[in-house]
C-alpha cells in the first residue's frame, strides 16, 4: 500500500473523527511535507500532503525501505505440513466462506498446518474477513506468526484482543466528554455497549441530556438493557400507571374463558393524556418525527413501553409472550405494543418472545405486516436456539408451494437461512436436509425459477450445510428437464463444484487420519 493510499484510508470517516497522521520521513520529501503542513488545519494538511505524494508517485518516487533490517530465523515448527494436493489453495480462492471455515477448522483439528506458500494468502484472508480470522490464526503455525510480524497490515495476528476497548471508551467518555464531537461520543457509546454493566449507569445517565439527539437516544437504549437501572424503574412506573385491571366481567364470561382454556389478561391499557416535562430528561421526544404513522398519544406510549423489560410484562400480567400478543390484539394500542415489544425482543435477544412473534407469520411466508408493524422471520430466527431455527425452517419449506411462490424466491429463502446460522453451525439435521433437497429439485422445474438469480449464489452456501451422506443425492437426483434451462444449469454447475470440494476435503482428512 502506498503512502497516498494510507493517507486516504485515514480520512474516509472525516478529519473531525480522526486526525490524519502525515508521513514523517528524513529526506527532502519529508522536509517539504513538514514545511507545508505547519500552522494549517487538518483538512489543509491532508490536501497538501496528498498533492505532494501524488506528484511523487507520478514521478516514480518510492519511499526508502527500512535499512539495516535484521531478520531472525522463523522458530521451528511443531506441526507437520498437510499434503493437501492443492485443495486448500483452491478453497481459499473460490469456495464459499462457510466451506473455507470448515476447511481451516479441520486443518487445526488434525494437528497439521498448511504449506508455507499459502501463508500470505491466509494472512490476507484473515485481515479482510474478520469472521475467518480466528480460524486462520489457529493454522498459521510458527512461520505464519513470524511472517505476520514483518508486515504492519498483518498485525491482527499478534494484536491484543479487544477486552480493553470498552474500558478505553469508558475512560474517554468520562474524561474527554467536552472535547469529543457528537459522532465520536455516539461511536464510543457503541463500543461501550459491548461490555456494559450496572457500574456504567451514572455515566449513561449523564448522556441522557446530551446536546446530540443521537447520543441521547443511544444512552437511553443502553440504559434499557440494565433492568435494575433507575431509568428502567422510572419508565416501568410510568407504564404501570397506564395499566389497569378491567372492571369485573360477568361470571358466565369468566367461566366460559376458563373452560375454553383461554388466558387473555384482564387488563386495560391507556395512553398518556399529555407529555410530562420531566420525560425530556429521559430522552423522550414530545413531537413525533416526519413520516411517523403513530398518533401523538400513541407515540408517547410507544417510547415508554419500548424501554420496559419484557419480563415485567410477563410478571405483571401473569402471561406468556404468546398470551400477551393475543391480549395486545384486543386493545386499542396493538400497533404500539407490537412495535415496542418487537424492539425490546431484538434488544434483549429474547428467544421466547422471538418464537412468539414468529408464530404470527403465516407458514410459507418470510415476513408479515401486522397492525402496520413489519415482522421479519429471519431477524427473529437469529435469536432462537439452532434446533428451533431448523424446525421452523423445515415447516417453512414444507409450506413453500413451488407452483405458486412467485413473490418469494427459493434463493432468497436459502440466502437468509444461511445468514442466520453461524459459521460453526453443524450440518442440517436429516429431516431438514431432505426437505431442502426436495424443495430445491421441485423449484428448479418451475418456469419462474429462471428469474431466481440469487439461488446461483446461495446454493453454494446451502451445499456446505447438507450432511455428507446426502451430497450424492442432491446431484444424482437433479431433474433432467431442469438442467436444460441456462439459469438452472448454472445452479447445478455451482452446486456440483461445491459438492466436489466437500468430497475432496472429506477424502483429504480421511487419508490424513488414516496415516
Taking residue 354's Cβ as centre, other Cβ atoms within 10 Å add up to 23
Is pLDDT of 451 > 90?
no
Q: CB–CB of 372/411 below 8 Å?
A: no
Q: CB–CB of 363/396 below 8 Å?
A: yes
Is pLDDT of 38 > 70?
no
Report, as an integer, the average pLDDT of 449-459: 87
Which residues lie below 8 Å from residue 25, measured CB to CB, with a gap of 6+? Answer: 33, 63, 64
Query: Residue 484: pLDDT band by 50, 70, 90 thresholds?
Result: low
Query: Between β-strands 373-376 and 267-269, what pairing exists: parallel, antiparallel or unpaired?
Result: unpaired
Portion of the chain with pLDDT greater than 70, in percent:
89
Q: CB–CB of 156/127 below 8 Å?
A: yes
CA distances (Å), 483 to each of 171, 208, 444, in order? 61, 60, 8
CA distances (Å), 404 to each of 123, 130, 409, 475, 491, in order? 47, 40, 11, 25, 21
Q: Where are the domains of the chain?
A: 3-59, 87-157, 164-226, 388-511
The DSSP secondary structure of 295-359, one letter per residue, reads -HHHHHHHHHHHTS-HHHHHHHHT--HHHHHHHHHTSTTHHHHHHHHHHHHHHHT-HHHHHHHHT
Report, as an integer, the average pLDDT of 472-479: 90
CA distance 341 to 356: 11
Is pLDDT of 424 > 70?
yes
Q: CB–CB of 297/233 below 8 Å?
A: no
CA distance 486 to 488: 6
Q: CB–CB of 271/302 below 8 Å?
A: no
3-class DSSP assignment, residue 369: strand
Q: CB–CB of 191/221 below 8 Å?
A: no
Q: What was the pLDDT predicted at 35?
A: 78
User: Which triple of cell numbers denotes residue 442?
Assistant: 421441485
Query: Residue 16: pLDDT band by 50, 70, 90 thresholds?
Result: low
CA distances (Å), 53 to each of 4, 40, 59, 215, in order? 6, 17, 10, 38
Portion of the chain with pLDDT greater than 90, in percent:
52
Q: What was the pLDDT predicted at 406?
A: 60
Taking residue 174's Cβ as centre, other Cβ atoms within 10 Å add up to 12
Which residues lie below 8 Å from residue 148, measured CB to CB, with a gap of 6+? Answer: 123, 140, 154, 155, 156, 157, 158
pLDDT tens digits, residue range 90-145?
999 889 999 999 999 999 999 999 999 999 999 999 999 999 999 999 999 999 99
Query: Residue 251: pLDDT band by 50, 70, 90 thresholds?
Result: low
* Residue of 381, 446, 363 lying closest to 411 (CA atoms): 446
Regarding predicted confidence, which is higher, 35 or 288? 288
Is pLDDT of 40 > 60?
yes
CA distance 495 to 114: 26
Angle at alpha carbon of residue 514, lines to 511 and 515, rounded to 5°:
90
The DSSP secondary structure of 189-254, one letter per residue, reads HHHHGGG--GGGHHHHHHGGG-S-HHHHHHHHHHHHT-TTSHHHHHHHHHHHTTEEEPPPPPHHHH
Taking residue 437's Cβ as centre, other Cβ atoms within 10 Å add up to 18
Q: What was the pLDDT predicted at 58?
A: 78
Regarding predicted confidence, which is higher, 86 or 369? 369
Report, as an integer, the average pLDDT of 10-37: 74
CA distance 152 to 432: 45
Q: What was the pLDDT predicted at 61?
A: 76
Report, as an integer, the average pLDDT of 316-341: 95
pLDDT tens digits, residue range 156-213?
888 655 555 788 888 889 888 888 888 889 989 998 998 899 999 999 999 999 999 9
3-class DSSP assignment, residue 262: coil
User: Which triple of cell numbers denotes residue 275?
Assistant: 407529555
Helix (H) / strand (E) containing 127: helix 119-128
Query: Between β-strands 367-370 and 267-269, what pairing exists: parallel, antiparallel or unpaired?
Result: unpaired
Regarding predicted confidence, which is higher, 142 or 31? 142
pTM for this structure?
Answer: 0.76
Mean pLDDT estimate for the chain: 86
Is pLDDT of 513 > 60?
no
Q: What was the pLDDT predicted at 149?
A: 87
Q: What was the pLDDT predicted at 18?
A: 64
Q: What was the pLDDT predicted at 512?
A: 56
Q: CB–CB of 132/97 below 8 Å?
A: yes
Amino acid at each position: 500500500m502506498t503512502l497516498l493510499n494510507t493517507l486516504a484510508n485515514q480520512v474516509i470517516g472525516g478529519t473531525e473523527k480522526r486526525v490524519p497522521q502525515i508521513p514523517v520521513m528524513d529526506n527532502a520529501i519529508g522536509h517539504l511535507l513538514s514545511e507545508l503542513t505547519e500552522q494549517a488545519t487538518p483538512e489543509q494538511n491532508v490536501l497538501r500532503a496528498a498533492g505532494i505524494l501524488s506528484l511523487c508517485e507520478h514521478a516514480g518516487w518510492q519511499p526508502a525501505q527500512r535499512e539495516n533490517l535484521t531478520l531472525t530465523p522463523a522458530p521451528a515448527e511443531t506441526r507437520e505440513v498437510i499434503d493437501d494436493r492443492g485443495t486448500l489453495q483452491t478453497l481459499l480462492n473460490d469456495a464459499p466462506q462457510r466451506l473455507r471455515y470448515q476447511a481451516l477448522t479441520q486443518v487445526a483439528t488434525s494437528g497439521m498446518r498448511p504449506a508455507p506458500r499459502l501463508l500470505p494468502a491466509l494472512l490476507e484472508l484473515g485481515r479482510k474477513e474478520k469472521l475467518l480470522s480466528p480460524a486462520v490464526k489457529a493454522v498459521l503455525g510458527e512461520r505464519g506468526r513470524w511472517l505476520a510480524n514483518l508486515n504492519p497490515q498483518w498485525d491482527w495476528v499478534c494484536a491484543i484482543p479487544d477486552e480493553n476497548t470498552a474500558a478505553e471508551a469508558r475512560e474517554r467518555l468520562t474524561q474527554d466528554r467536552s472535547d469529543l464531537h457528537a459522532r465520536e461520543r455516539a461511536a464510543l457509546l457503541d463500543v461501550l455497549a459491548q461490555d456494559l454493566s450496572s457500574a456504567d449507569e451514572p455515566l449513561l445517565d449523564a448522556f441522557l441530556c446530551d446536546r446530540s439527539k443521537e447520543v441521547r437516544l443511544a444512552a437511553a437504549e443502553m440504559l434499557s438493557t440494565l433492568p435494575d437501572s433507575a431509568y428502567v424503574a422510572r419508565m416501568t412506573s410510568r407504564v404501570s400507571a397506564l395499566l389497569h385491571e378491567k372492571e369485573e366481567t360477568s361470571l358466565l364470561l369468566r367461566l366460559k374463558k376458563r373452560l375454553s382454556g383461554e388466558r387473555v389478561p384482564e387488563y386495560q391499557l391507556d395512553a398518556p393524556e399529555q407529555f410530562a416535562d420531566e420525560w425530556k430528561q429521559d430522552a423522550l421526544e414530545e413531537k413525533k418525527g416526519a413520516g411517523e404513522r403513530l398518533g401523538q398519544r400513541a407515540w408517547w406510549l410507544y417510547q415508554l413501553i419500548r424501554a420496559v423489560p419484557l419480563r415485567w410484562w410477563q410478571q405483571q400480567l401473569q402471561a406468556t409472550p404468546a398470551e400477551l400478543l393475543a391480549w395486545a390484539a384486543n386493545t386499542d394500542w396493538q400497533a404500539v405494543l407490537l412495535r415496542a415489544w418487537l424492539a425490546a425482543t431484538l434488544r434483549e435477544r429474547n428467544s421466547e418472545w422471538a418464537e412468539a412473534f414468529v408464530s404470527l407469520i403465516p407458514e410459507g411466508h418470510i415476513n408479515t405486516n401486522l397492525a402496520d408493524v413489519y415482522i421479519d422471520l429471519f431477524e427473529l430466527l437469529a435469536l432462537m436456539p439452532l434446533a428451533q431455527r431448523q424446525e421452523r425452517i423445515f415447516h417453512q419449506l414444507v409450506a413453500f408451494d413451488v407452483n405458486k411462490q412467485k413473490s418469494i424466491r427459493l434463493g432468497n429463502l436459502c440466502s437468509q437461512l444461511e445468514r442466520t446460522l453461524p459459521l460453526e453451525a453443524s450440518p442440517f439435521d436429516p429431516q431438514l436436509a431432505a426437505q431442502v433437497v426436495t424443495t430445491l429439485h421441485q423449484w428448479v422445474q418451475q418456469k419462474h425459477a429462471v428469474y431466481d438469480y440469487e439461488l446461483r449464489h446461495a446454493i453454494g452456501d446451502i451445499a456446505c450445510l447438507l450432511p455428507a451422506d446426502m451430497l450424492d443425492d442432491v446431484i444424482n437426483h437433479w431433474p433432467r428437464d431442469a438442467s436444460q434451462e441456462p439459469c438452472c444449469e448454472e445452479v447445478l454447475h455451482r452446486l456440483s463444484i461445491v459438492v466436489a470440494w466437500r468430497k475432496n476435503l472429506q477424502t483429504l482428512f480421511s487419508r490424513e487420519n488414516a496415516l
